[in-house]
Amino acid sequence: MSAKSLLIELFVEELPPKSLKKLGESFADELIRSLMLQGGLVTIDLAFPEVEENYVKRFASPRRLAVYIKNVLEKAHDTTENIKLMPVKVGLDAEGRPTPALLKKLASLGAGEECVSSLRSEDGSLYLDRVKTGETLAEGLQKALEYVVSKLPIAKVMTYPDPAADGWATVNFVRPAHSLVALHGDEIVPVSILGLQAGRETQGHRFEAAVDAIVIRDADSYEAQMEGEGAVIASFAKRRNDIERQLSEAAGKLNLKPIEDEALLDEVTSLVERPNVLVGTFDEAFLEVPQECLILTMKANQKYFPLLDGNGRLTNRFLIVSNIRPQDASLVIGGNERVVRPRLADAKFFFDQDRKKPLDARVLGLSKVVYHNKLGSQGERVERVQAIARSIGEKLGGEALARLADRAALLAKADLLTDMVGEFPELQGIMGRYYAQHDGEHDDIAHAIEDHYRPRFSGDELPRNEVGICVALADKLETLAGLFGIGQVPTGDKDPFALRRHALGIIRTLVEKELPLEIGDLLKGAFAAFPPGLLSDAQSGLETFVFERLGGMMREQGYTAQEVDAVLSMRIQNFSDAARRLAAVRSFASLPEAPALSAANKRVGNILKKAEGAISEAVDVARLLEAPEQALHRSLIEIAPRAEQAFAAGDYTSSLQALAGLRTPVDAFFDSVMVNVDDADLRNNRLALLLQLHRAMNRVADISRLAS
């Protein structure tokens, strides 16, 4: 049974650039998986990249999706099927003849009565053993293509006339498809899809292909023919690497550096088939505009790579990734320079116009901007954020910080009404900083306006100053309280308002900035900022939501579920303590005394839960009758103050490790002393002793959670 290389190419109109990479990967991977299921026509294992790299090549360019697979069988191997039919007593009558039930079952499997004599009896059941003929490549590939085309991650399909039919028949696909190549070695595989019959002809570059139609000789020659005859680098990865190399070389000749943007690099790779990087320039006068504006307009509108100097400042040079390679590139460069000029002029116009009106004069206009139909306008929201920010400022820095936080919160959303942010929403906050500095606002206020959105994503920087911290926390707290209060709670993987991100932003700020703020107080202040009756009582649910995010973040940092549970079950309010408590728990868990103490702590907790009535806070020494309970009391008097002193000093590791000295007296107590005795006074005194033990052992964390 021969194995040859297989090539499948679907040639289409220009594909959506933002989706091309994903489409190419899905087309190739799903096709391979489907063929693997069709009787093992493909025998490679996608779980091993080093194997796959030698056998699979994925191709995706603006006008094609293709895959090359080495060593594909012409026909799948035959397999033996062992089919359990039914119990013998159901399938055969007393004389051994087949029953109607058996005949019906055999018919459903495509077998007749003649198979009865060959049935196998085992463990009281009848089995049909037969050879299943392996599918041909044509059969398997046809099924695979139909499946893959139906499962491609297409956001929106196009409907166009079926090329194989006359009349009104239509085809649905991401873009109109023009040809299908299916080659097994040098032979065409007779398959069809989207109204196209498989052949060996495809098209190259629109303008620079050496021939009108490229006739693919065999599967192995596809990539070389596309590059040589078609002037197309069909491999997405190879084309991307080529662009990256050219960008680096062109910038290096100017002693500059191209802006780093992986998404832009992917998009440009999806727009060209034969990349050619050229250098363009623009008038230096435009550099008076904030560089974020110029960079964004060049990237978003023109797909250019702006060039930065050694200090990270924007220069008046940029890189163009062209799809053609003319001998004289001056016309291409000149055309791009003419196109970018009005874009930059628009940015300069917006910047100049926006500065004519100070930010604080725009605040009133926020009352006309709807924030949420149940939560009011942006103006009302600003007032709530101000109140929360003032409260946080007072706690962190007194009246002076509160005043700055109040002013920054007032101005934080004003840039939403500027022309620049209207054109480029991504610049909100950034433009607010520039305009605040132009208006003469305090630098801390200006930076806080930009920073109050931080952290915007995982790994993003936190606000750079205390004013920014106050407003950033206030903004996120207001969002969480408001949306939880109207029932907009994330469910499953649905989180349209990014509330998980907001919660993680609060957690990161509290933890990494080591802020002496309690989460319960922060949430209470956030809910209090809303008018009475507007929100439901959702503070407890929101607090649980925040703790879940904190637990997830801790586990991602490498702590075990038990360690995290031990700390968070205490419902600690000061998140800046979390890391030190976790480190202390981990250190304690490594002690030889830890398992016994954790188990004992769990036992103590269970005893106290079952106790009836109030338990005394004090231990009556005169009622400590047995030596083990006396020894435990003495050890507590000695060890508990040391543990408490370390706890008060924030040395949680020493606090927990001091408890190791309790192991021997605790073990002796439970070996010899009965707590729930009939004598009520004696019982209550022993419960009081256990209550003191429980409190001493659970100051840093609930160590019973470490018990297996």
Alpha-carbon span 604 to 673, nearest angstrom: 13
Q: Over the stretch 166-185, which tens digit does the pLDDT of each residue have?
A: 768 898 999 999 999 999 99
Name the architecture of domain 374-558: Orthogonal Bundle (1.10)
Q: Over the stretch 252-294, which tens digit does the pLDDT of each residue have?
A: 999 999 999 999 999 999 999 999 999 999 999 999 999 999 9
Q: Over the stretch 633-647, which tens digit does the pLDDT of each residue have?
A: 999 999 999 999 999
Does the pLDDT value for residue 606 go beyond 60?
yes
Mean pLDDT of 678-684: 85
CA quadruple 501, 504, 510, 511: dihedral positive or negative? negative
Higher pLDDT, 691 or 443: 443
Q: Do residues 80 and 130 touch, judged by C-beta distance below 8 A?
A: yes
579-706 folds as: Isoleucyl-tRNA Synthetase; Domain 1 (1.10.730)
Give residue 72's pLDDT.
Answer: 85
Give residue 22's pLDDT.
Answer: 95
Does the pLDDT value for residue 53 go beyond 70?
no
Alpha-carbon span 217 to 200, nearest angstrom: 8
Alpha-carbon span 84 to 125, nearest angstrom: 7
Domain ranges of the chain: 3-76+136-228, 79-132, 236-354, 374-558, 579-706
Give residue 689's pLDDT.
Answer: 86
Residue 11: which H helix or E strand, with range? strand 3-12
β-strand pairing of 196-199 with 177-184: parallel
Of the candidates 126, 105, 106, the residue with the CA atom closest to the CA atom of residue 114:
106
**DSSP conformational letter for 230:** S
- CA distance readout (Å), 617 to 377, 387, 413, 614: 53, 41, 53, 9
Band (80; pLDDT cuts 50, 70, 90): confident
Does the pLDDT value for residue 525 go beyond 70?
yes
Matching residue, tokens 């806080």: 448
Does the pLDDT value for residue 216 go beyond 90?
yes
Give residue 359's pLDDT.
Answer: 96
Alpha-carbon span 451 to 447, nearest angstrom: 6
Q: Do residues 619 and 688 touch, judged by C-beta distance below 8 A?
A: yes
Give residue 39's pLDDT.
Answer: 55
495's tokens = 């989180």
| Mean pLDDT computed over every residue of the chain | 91
661's tokens = 């000295």
Q: Over the stretch 110-165, which tens digit does the pLDDT of each residue have?
A: 888 788 888 888 888 888 888 777 778 888 899 889 999 999 999 889 999 888 77
Mean pLDDT of 703-708: 84
Give residue 146's pLDDT.
Answer: 92
Residue 599: which H helix or E strand, with range? helix 594-610
Give residue 43's pLDDT.
Answer: 57
Q: Over the stretch 186-195, which tens digit does the pLDDT of each residue have?
A: 999 999 999 9
Q: Do residues 508 and 462 touch, judged by C-beta distance below 8 A?
A: yes
Band (688; pLDDT cuts 50, 70, 90): confident
Band (465; pLDDT cuts 50, 70, 90): very high
Residues 6+ apart with CB under 8 A from 187: 4
Band (49; pLDDT cuts 50, 70, 90): very low
CA quadruple 611, 613, 617, 621: dihedral positive or negative? negative
Residue 82: which H helix or E strand, with range? strand 79-87
Give residue 47's pLDDT.
Answer: 40
β-strand pairing of 257-258 with 305-308: antiparallel
Give residue 48's pLDDT.
Answer: 42
Phi, psi of 701 (to 5 degrees): -160, 165
Give residue 38's pLDDT.
Answer: 59
Mean pLDDT of 532-546: 95
Residue 553: which H helix or E strand, with range? helix 539-556
